[in-house]
Each structure stands twice: as C-alpha cells, then as structure tokens.
Amino acid sequence: MSIEQTILKLREELRQHNYNYYVLDNPTISDFEFDQKLKELQKLESEHPEFFDPNSPSQRVGGEVTKDFKTIQHDYRMYSLDNSYSKEDLLDWEKRIKKIVDGNLQFSCELKYDGASMSLTYEKGKLLRAVTRGDGIQGDEVTANVKTIKSVPLQLKGNYPERFDIRGEIVLPIKGFQKMNEERISNGEEPYRNPRNTASGSLKLQDSAEVAKRPLECLLYSLKGPNLNIETQIEGLEKARSWGFKVPSEAKLAKSVDEILEYVNYWDKNRHSLPYEIDGVVIKVNSLFLQEELGFTAKAPRWAMAYKFKAEQVSTVLKSISYQVGRTGAITPVANLEPVLLAGTIVKRASLHNADQIEKIDVRVGDHVFVEKGGEIIPKIISVDLSKRGKDSAPTQYIDYCPECSTKLIRKEGEAQHYCPNYTGCNPQIVGRIQHYISRKAMDIEGLGAETVSLLVQEGLISDYSDLYELNQSQLIPLERMAEKSADNLIKGIEASKEIPFERVLFALGIRYVGETVAKKLAKHYKTIDAIINASMDELVNVEEIGDKIAESVREFFDSEVNRGIIERLRQFGVQLEISAEKLAHQTNKLQGRSFVVSGVFESVSRDELKKLIEDNGGKVGSSISSKTSFVVAGDKMGPSKLQKANALGIPIIDEYKFKEMLI
C-alpha cells in the first residue's frame, strides 16, 4: 500500500470511529487505540505535506489563531422565531396558517436547545465554512474553531447534495460544563455562569487549540439549499443523520395541537433528564412545500413557532432604582437587586420599564420582589411580596430631571416613557446615536466598537456621527489601546461605510420608530433623502405601513436644523443618500398600487424571485387572498381553497408567463 493510500485509509477509519463515538455514542475501539491511529496519521501527514487535507481528522486538534473574525453574509437568512406560551397561542397560530394554506396540516416537534446558533456550509461533502447567526443577515466566520468540535463532520458520507447549509446549535453538555467549572474552582478561578454563554464565548476564542479542549457539541436541525429532494422537515432530519450529522432523536411528528401539547408537557417535566439544556420546544409545519407557501414576516417564519417553558421565578430584595438614558432620550428605570441565581445566571439588575409599571406593581426600594426572565432572557420584576414590606416604606417617586444632564424631563400625551429633550447636550444620547450608527445592521463600521465611540466623544474628537469621517490616524493613535494598525483599520472601516446602501443609512440615522423595515419602505418609496426631507405629513402617511406616529417622528427629525446640517456633512463625505443607479435600473412603478398573492410551484422562476420582481416593480406581495388582492400568480400545486376563494371574489388568476408580460 502506498503512503497516500495509507493516509487515506487512516483518515477514513478515524472518521468512522469519530462518528461512532461522538454521534452514535457507540465506540468500537478504545481511546488509546484511537489516539495511536491519530498519531500515526499526524506523523505521515507531517512527513508528506503534499497530501495535506484541511478536512483531515488530524485538523481537529486546533492550533489556528484567528485575530479578526470575518463577517460573512448568509446564503439563506437566519430568522428569529415567534414565541408562544399557551394552547391558545398555538391555536391562534394554527388558525393563521389555515387562512393561507390548504391541506391536512402536520407538525414536527423538536427540542429547543439553549446554545449558540450556527450555520454550516458544505460543498462536495466537505465543510466549507461555519458562520455564527449574527444579526440573521450576516455573522462571523468561526470555521477554525468549529472544526475542533468532534460531532461536526468534516467529510460527509452517503448521497448528499452538491452544496447546502445546515443549521443548528453549538451546546455545552451539562456534565462537560460541570467538569470545566470543577477544574476552574480547583485552580482558584471564577466558575463559568452557564453552559449557553460559555458555548457562545468559546466560538470567539482566538486560539482554536483552546476551543478543542472544551467538550462542545453541535446539534443540527434544519437544511437549506436548492434541489435537496426533501419533502418534509422530519425527512430532512433523517437525511442529515444519514450523512453523518448529530441530529437528536427526540423529534416527533404531531397531527394536531393536542399532540403538540402532549410533547411540550412531556419535555417540560423531563427536560432535566437530557444531557443538554433546553428552554422550550420548536414546532414547524412539516411539509416544506407548505413552509414555502407560508413564507416569512419581516422577522420570523410564519410556519414555525417556539413554545417556551414557563419562566423560573425567584425572590430577592430591591436595593435601589437607577435611571438610564437611551439614544432617543427615553428614560428606563432599572431595579438594582440583591444578586440571585436565576435560570443559570446571576441576576443583579432588572428593567422596570416606565413610571406606569412602577405604579402598577407599586414596587419600592427595600421590597422583597419576585423576578423572572421574560422568555428566559431578560429579567423583569413580576410582583412584590407585600407580607415582607416594612411599615416605614414610601411609594417610589419617579424622577423629574435627567440623571445625566439635569434637564427637565417631558412625557408626551399617550406615551408611557419620559424623555430628556436635551438632544445635543445629553452625553448618553450623543454616544448612543453614534453607537447605533456604527452597528452591524446599520453602517457596520469594522474596527469601531461601543467603548471606542464613548472614548472618542469623551476626548472631544466627535460629537455626532458625521464627525467620524474627519478622523485621522494622528488623532487616534494617542488614545488608550489604539495602536497604529487598529487606527488604520478604523479609518478603513469608516471609509468603507460610504458604500453602505441608502436604506441602511436611513436606518443608521436613528430616527425614532424607523427600524430596518420602515427604513426600507421609505427608501424604496422616496428613492432619495431629499425627497423624504421634503415630504409632508400627509404624503408620509400615504406610504404603505407608515402611520401618524412614524410620520410625525420623521418630520420632527428632518425639521431639526441640527439634523439637516449633519445630513449635509454626510453628503459631502460621500455617504449614500439615495438608491444607487444600478439598483434603480432594476426597479419600476409598473405594478404600483397592485397587490399579488403567489401560490404554487413555478417553472421559469423561483417563488422568491417572483416576489422580488413584484416588489422591485412597485407591487405588494400578500400572504392571503382578500378583496384587496389584484392578482393571484398561480403555479403547479396551488391549493384548491385558494382557487375557490379567488374565483368567489372575482380575482384574476394568472400564470408566471402572463405575469412577466405585465413587466414588458
């Protein structure tokens, strides 16, 4: 046998043993025998570098150092999930689904693992890259670190697609977490707080050899890609398992909401018997065809729902109330608590939301309060234990003046929050606006973080986000922790932000109530910043999904001389303040005022491409047929109830080719 054949044989053997041990939990050789084979392979590869393979089992030991994790755009967006907490929530969800799709609904029920979301891309059976969830649109590439996780296959087996993504969670099993903490305590170090945060933090360690020492696992649950030849979610899980992925076996098919609840109740009681932490159950429409029919809202798939287990509650003491100022000037009262362990983390603070909430639960300093994590994420005070309240307790008096700049607070009629109106002189507002401007979903300025923004404002180098474009290296290098290379990267990051498209710039400006979706709608409708600046209240309200509150906020922002001055400076520096000519070339108003419902399978164009064509040409895509629908674009397998409803309402039904003629 040649050297190359010996190396290939050893790699295949080690892959199989690795799969048996970490995926099947059924080892067929001892750890010693595995290590001997691995050492033999490493020796041969070292002596014969011409046979190097980045996906060899020998590469799992780590050793690659990553200083900067590259930002990568996901091929398929990673959405969040809507949450439910009761049978009523699930029945409402089922009712919404039945309004959109036909047929007998079945659901996949899967455990909701509490870990770090991950997207793995495979090409020709080899791991191409691993990317964190990030903001769902783009994340950080952590391939070197993920390669060290033994349950992640570097080479697939069986009949797998040419290229696809698979989603899952990187988790730290409870036993492994406990062992890590025992070692830290014996070394006199602070123990880690919980498995989830430890798993997430592990993925961003710079030295992959350190990641390799941690007993991380990767549990997979969702396939994405073209031509997968899979019809259901459950079938997808089975296929992924056959290719070598660690797919937990607890998934189950349910045919009704009652069967879903049986599954939920079982795992709510038995979750502590699992080797991993879970915080609920994920329910999905099982048919992938129906998933495609249902589509997505701006934030979540319509075809999936997370059922969250009842949040854990604990009692502690409210020591004091402090007040935070946000970038819009909104004041948030914060409860400072006697530290308490809650759902695996030490909680010291909880939001009190606003003056109405404080008054509603009549919470006072010194009270014994009950705290829970909303959706097991954000701590909040639920109620007060009045039996333990002291006789000299006095009601909480909400502050009248800004805790940062001492300006008199205002509260607009019909609004819950108090605001500091000192827009240009209140430091947290100034810093907050700039931090929002540079954030990943906005201008995504690499090399510039929240702490650096605070430092730049503190040193008087910037006072608004347009000042960023005048910074130079000589100003930056003297700053704390700012070497020449860091300063150079920051300047390059600021320069690169000039290429960020207009809709994201509009979001970055930080106009109150103008989130990502609203910014896109305004940019698409008006095309340029000047058109928005000159739009009246009445004109703004006529834009789809723009109500009085948003329109009033937009007008207030652009009526400010300070803001208009900042916009002019951004214009001079070359920031994109209009939709690019290239993008405009693909957009028309040919379908303006028309609403389309897309249903079925198409030959010449994918459903997503069809929806994009509608929107790029000024039309609106609806999810269900109503009297406001202008046309139904029907493909193969269109549901009979949709056809019946369209005919009953007299709505024209056209095929993809007839639709394309409308664009000529």
Q: What is the pLDDT of residues 641-656, one digit of tens each?
A: 788 888 989 999 999 9
The dihedral region occupied by 510, where left means phi > 0, alpha psi between -120 and 50, and beta the remainder, is left
Lowest-confidence region among 73-77, 192-196, 530-534: 192-196
Q: Are 22 and 15 in contact (CB under 8 A)?
A: no
**Tokens 């827009």 appear where?**
423
CB-CB neighbours of 49 under 10 Å: 7
- Measured CA to CA in angstroms, residue 337 lies from 332, 388, 475 at distances of 16, 16, 41
Q: Are 617 and 589 in contact (CB under 8 A)?
A: yes
Mean pLDDT for 15-24 is 72
Q: Are 278 and 114 in contact (CB under 8 A)?
A: yes
pLDDT band with cut points at 50, 70 and 90 for residue 536: very high
572 or 102: which leads in pLDDT: 572
Pick from 64-68, 241-245, 350-354 the range whose average pLDDT is largest: 241-245
List, in order, residues 6 or more apart from 228 with CB less than 8 Å away.
Answer: 161, 164, 236, 239
pLDDT value of position 282: 97
Instruction: Give the separation between CA 56 and CA 9, rounded to whole angstroms.
Output: 11
**Tokens 């906020």 appear where?**
553
List, in order, residues 6 or more apart from 281 with CB less than 8 Å away.
Answer: 109, 110, 111, 112, 260, 263, 264, 267, 306, 307
- Domain residue extents for the chain: 3-61, 83-308, 313-386, 427-499, 502-584, 595-661
Tell me how far the alpha carbon of residue 503 is from its chain's centroid: 19
Q: Are 100 and 293 in contact (CB under 8 A)?
A: yes
Catalytic annotation, pick one of 67, 95, 98, 112? 112
Lowest-confidence region among 38-52, 127-141, 254-268, 429-443: 38-52
CB-CB neighbours of 31 under 10 Å: 9
Q: Return phi, psi of residue 414, to 5°.
A: 85, 0
pLDDT band with cut points at 50, 70 and 90 for residue 65: low
- Strands 138-140, 71-73: parallel, antiparallel or unpaired by DSSP? antiparallel
Find the angle CA(409)-CA(414)-CA(418) to the nearest 5 degrees: 20
The CATH code belonging to domain 83-308 is: 3.30.470.30
- Please provide the average confidence, as pLDDT, over all residues in the chain: 89
Longest CA pairwise span in the chain (Å) = 88
pLDDT value of position 332: 92
Helix axes 427-438, 450-458, angle to 10 degrees: 140
pLDDT at position 378 over 80: no
pLDDT at position 23 over 80: no
List, in order, residues 6 or more apart from 120 with CB less than 8 Å away.
Answer: 127, 129, 130, 146, 152, 165, 166, 167, 168, 218, 220
pLDDT band with cut points at 50, 70 and 90 for residue 74: very high
Is the CA virtual torsion 57, 115, 242, 77 positive or negative?
Answer: negative
Q: Would the CATH topology of 427-499 be identical to that of 502-584?
A: yes
pLDDT value of position 537: 94
Instruction: Describe the strand order of the beta sheet including 595-599 as a list of residue ranges.
Output: 620-622, 595-599, 631-634, 653-654
pLDDT digits (tens, 9 = 90+) for 157-181: 999 999 999 999 999 999 998 898 8
pLDDT value of position 455: 92
pLDDT at position 218 over 90: yes
The CATH code belonging to domain 3-61 is: 1.10.287.610
Tokens of 182: 């025992």
Mean pLDDT for 235-249 is 95
CB-CB neighbours of 333 under 10 Å: 21
First to last CA, the chain: 65
Closest CA to 630 of 655, 594, 590: 594
**b/e string for 254-263 if b means 16 or more Cβ within 10 A?**
beebeebbeb
CATH architecture for segment(s) 595-661: 3-Layer(aba) Sandwich (3.40)
β-bridge mates for residue 620, sequence order: 595
CATH of 502-584, one of 1.10.150.20, 3.40.50.720, 1.10.10.10, 1.10.645.10: 1.10.150.20
pLDDT above 90 covers what percent of the chain? 54
Query: Is the CATH number of domain 427-499 3.40.50.1220?
Result: no
Instruction: Give the separation between CA 194 and CA 171, rounded to whole angstroms.
Output: 11
Fold of 313-386: OB fold (Dihydrolipoamide Acetyltransferase, E2P) (2.40.50)
pLDDT value of position 598: 92
pLDDT value of position 97: 92
Mean pLDDT for 128-132 is 95
Residues counted in the chain: 664
pLDDT value of position 408: 96
Instruction: Give the separation between CA 283 and CA 263, rounded to whole angstroms.
Output: 10
Tokens of 163: 């290229």
pLDDT digits (tens, 9 = 90+) for 472-509: 988 988 888 788 888 888 999 999 999 999 999 999 99
Instruction: Give the separation between CA 568 and CA 495, rounded to whole angstroms.
Output: 17
Q: Is the pTM of this model over 0.75?
A: no
Instruction: Give the separation between CA 46 and CA 37, rounded to whole angstroms.
Output: 14
- 412 belongs to the catalytic site: no
Mean pLDDT for 330-336 is 93
Instruction: Give the separation between CA 442 and CA 292, rounded to whole angstroms.
Output: 29
pLDDT band with cut points at 50, 70 and 90 for residue 270: very high
Q: Are 540 and 551 in contact (CB under 8 A)?
A: yes
